[in-house]
Structure 1
Amino acid sequence: MTARIGKSFTFTGWHMLLTICSFFGVIIAVNFTMAWYASHSWSGIVVENTYVASQQFNETTAEIRAILDSGVTGKMAVQQGIITYDLQIPGKGPVNADKVVANFKRPVGTAQDFSIELRPEAPGHFVGAHPAGPGHWIYEVVATDHGKLVMHEANRIAVLED
């Protein structure tokens, strides 16, 4: 009697080639997919020119320290398309500024970003009208008085639907 033995599987070079190509094909496909989503969802721009920003770092830090030492605080409010900003020194009263610019940016994407100059309505109280859609915003306020920086702050706020 003879016993029949079935042919067992043999892993060949072609199988190894197929395994390696499949492995790297998945990695490449995932990288391209993630790169596409990254390039279509956020601009990636924090500053326009990183070299210039690095050269101005010490100046900017000194200005921010001077603002913190002065005790000036700001309060932003956005309701029904009206943007208000109040500048004051707690315990001393409102702070005047001749120019207040508010820059609004979405945390992701640049399509809805806008900048508005707020007009003074009362001492230390500034108002502007611009629709800011519901959701999260990062606002930056730069207030100057006769060319001297009075306030420069950036915060994140959530605008609710009215």
Structure 2
Amino acid sequence: MTTQSEKRPFVFTGWHMLTIMVLFFGTIITVNFTMAYLASSTWSGLVVKNTYVASQEFNGKAAGIRAMLATGIKGKLEVKDGVIRYHLTMSGDEPVIADKVTAHFKRPVGEHQDFVAELQSVGAGVYEAPHEVLHGHWIVEVMAVRDGQTIMHEANRIAVIGEAK
């Protein structure tokens, strides 16, 4: 008795090889394009507008910051309950009065959520502005000006945890 349904052995053909190659290289190309898209859409890559000008201004800015630090003025930033608060003091917790205090909030990656808050004096070297700050990491640049001169300029990286989402 002979059975006609004998199983034919598997034969690896050119179509199988083509399918494997298309799937392999298709996966690699898809991953590369996805990573390139995510990299270019989430970070502008812009640190300064003109690197040559920034390099020429560096020594002057560094000297200005050293002179500012020599004055002994210190700042402390708080972001809590929808209020941005900045304490400006001399050594010994003596309050410092400024005409204008601004806080520039910048995301480390991307710039679509960046904002500037103008802080108002609430007395004794304390400056506040009501502003909801989204949770996550921020680079905050605070500038305090008195009589047209910058008396404090600092930038800090902070993490806001548990604020509005």
Normalising by the smaller structure, the TM-score range is 0.7 to 0.9
User: Partner residue of 1:152?
Assistant: 153
Counterpart residue type for residue 78 of structure 1: V
Distance change >3 Å, CA 37–CA 128, structure 1 → 2: same
Alignment of 1:1-162 (within 5 A): 30-91=31-92, 93-162=94-163
User: Partner residue of 2:10?
Assistant: none
Percent same amino acid among aligned pairs? 54
Deviations along 1:74-115, whole A, 9 cap, x unmatched? 100011211000111121611121111100011222121100
Alpha-carbon distance in structure 1 between the residues aligned to 2:66 and 2:105 = 23
Judge conservation of contact 1:103–1:116 (CA < 8 Å) in 2: yes
TM-score, structure 1 length as denominator? 0.78
Q: 1:156 offset after TM fit, Å?
A: 1.3
Counterpart residue type for residue 137 of structure 1: W
Judge conservation of contact 1:140–1:153 (CA < 8 Å) in 2: yes
Alpha-carbon distance in structure 2 between the residues aligned to 1:108 and 1:127 = 26
Alpha-carbon distance in structure 2 between the residues aligned to 1:61 and 1:147 = 19
Alpha-carbon distance in structure 2 between the residues aligned to 1:55 and 1:98 = 30
Runs of 4+ in 1 over 4 A off after TM superposition: 21-31
Q: Cα RMSD (Å) of the superposition? A: 2.4
Alpha-carbon distance in structure 2 between the residues aligned to 1:24 and 1:69 = 60
Alpha-carbon distance in structure 1 between the residues aligned to 2:24 and 2:155 = 45
Alpha-carbon distance in structure 1 between the residues aligned to 2:128 and 2:137 = 20
Counterpart residue type for residue 48 of structure 1: K
Q: Give secondary structure in 1 for the equivalent of 2:41.
A: helix
Judge conservation of contact 1:63–1:149 (CA < 8 Å) in 2: no
Alpha-carbon distance in structure 1 between the residues aligned to 2:24 and 2:161 = 46
Alpha-carbon distance in structure 1 between the residues aligned to 2:142 and 2:162 = 23
Judge conservation of contact 1:100–1:118 (CA < 8 Å) in 2: yes
How many residues align? The count is: 146
Q: 1:25 offset after TM fit, Å?
A: 7.5
Q: 1:58 offset after TM fit, Å?
A: 1.4
Alpha-carbon distance in structure 1 between the residues aligned to 2:150 and 2:162 = 33
Counterpart residue type for residue 49 of structure 1: N
Segments of 5+ residues of structure 1 without an aligned counterpart are: 1-14
Q: Give secondary structure in 2 for the equivalent of 1:56.
A: helix
Alpha-carbon distance in structure 1 between the residues aligned to 2:34 and 2:85 = 42
Alpha-carbon distance in structure 2 between the residues aligned to 1:120 and 1:153 = 18
